[in-house]
Structure formats: C-alpha cells, structure tokens
Amino acid sequence: RKEVEQDPGPFNVPEGATVAFNCTYSNSASQSFFWYRQDCRKEPKLLMSVYSSGNEDGRFTAQLNRASQYISLLIRDSKLSDSATYLCVVNGKGGNKLVFGAGTILRVKS
C-alpha cells in the first residue's frame, strides 16, 4: 500500500463548478499535511497547509479527518487557471520526510 494515495483523475469540470479531491494516508502518526499545486513541467508550489480544524483560503477549503486518515481539498467557483495537478503531501513513516501522492489532475473548461 502506498503511503499517500490519490485519485489520479482527470477531473473535467466547467468553469464555476465546485470540485473536491480526497487523499488517504497510511501513517497514523502523521502531523504535517499540505496541498501543493503543480503546473505542467513546472515545480510544485504550496497551495495550502491543512490544519486539524480545517482551513479556508479564498475559494479553497482543506479538511483533515484523522480518524479516517484522509484529507480533502474543495475548490469553489473553478477558474480556467485552476487547471493543474494537485498533490497531497503528508509526513511519512519515521516522521521526518514529506511524502507526495501521485497527484490529481484537474481540467477546468469554458
């Protein structure tokens, strides 16, 4: 079983739609959770950290469910510019390293 698992998609949605991604992780002791965005052939960039109480940044909302060991990302009012790969990141077994999921592809269409 992979340490961090994501649905690869692609998710094809129209502009203005709401879309949600889930990510599951295997290390119950994980303490750090992030969502990164990666554009084609570019480096990953931090989208947002994920906190236990959930957090929101504009159109983006992240949630953490420790009991079920998954995190989610909700994007409201999707824009064409949101088209990218969204990477789920969790600190892995042993505690120190950051483990990336394979990413979920989002395509927003007009």
Partner 1 sequence: EAEVAQSPRYKITEKSQAVAFWCDPISGHATLYWYRQILGQGPELLVQFQDESVVDDSQLPKDRFSAERLKGVDSTLKIQPAELGDSAMYLCASSTENRGRAFFGQGTRLTVV
94 binds partner 1 (CB under 8 A): yes
User: Which of residues 44, 54, 69, 70 is near partner 1 by CB under 8 A?
Assistant: 44
Helices (H), the chain: none
17 binds partner 1 (CB under 8 A): no
42 binds partner 1 (CB under 8 A): yes
Per-residue tokens: 61: 């909302």
Per-residue tokens: 34: 């992030």
Identify which of residues 17 and 44 has a Cβ nearer to partner 1 in the complex.
Answer: 44
The residues, any chain, with a CB within 8 Å of residue 21's CB and separated by 6 or more, are 6, 7, 11, 72, 73, 86, 88, 104, 106
Which residues of the chain form contacts with partner 1 (CB under 8 A)? 4, 31-32, 34, 41-46, 49, 87, 91, 94-103
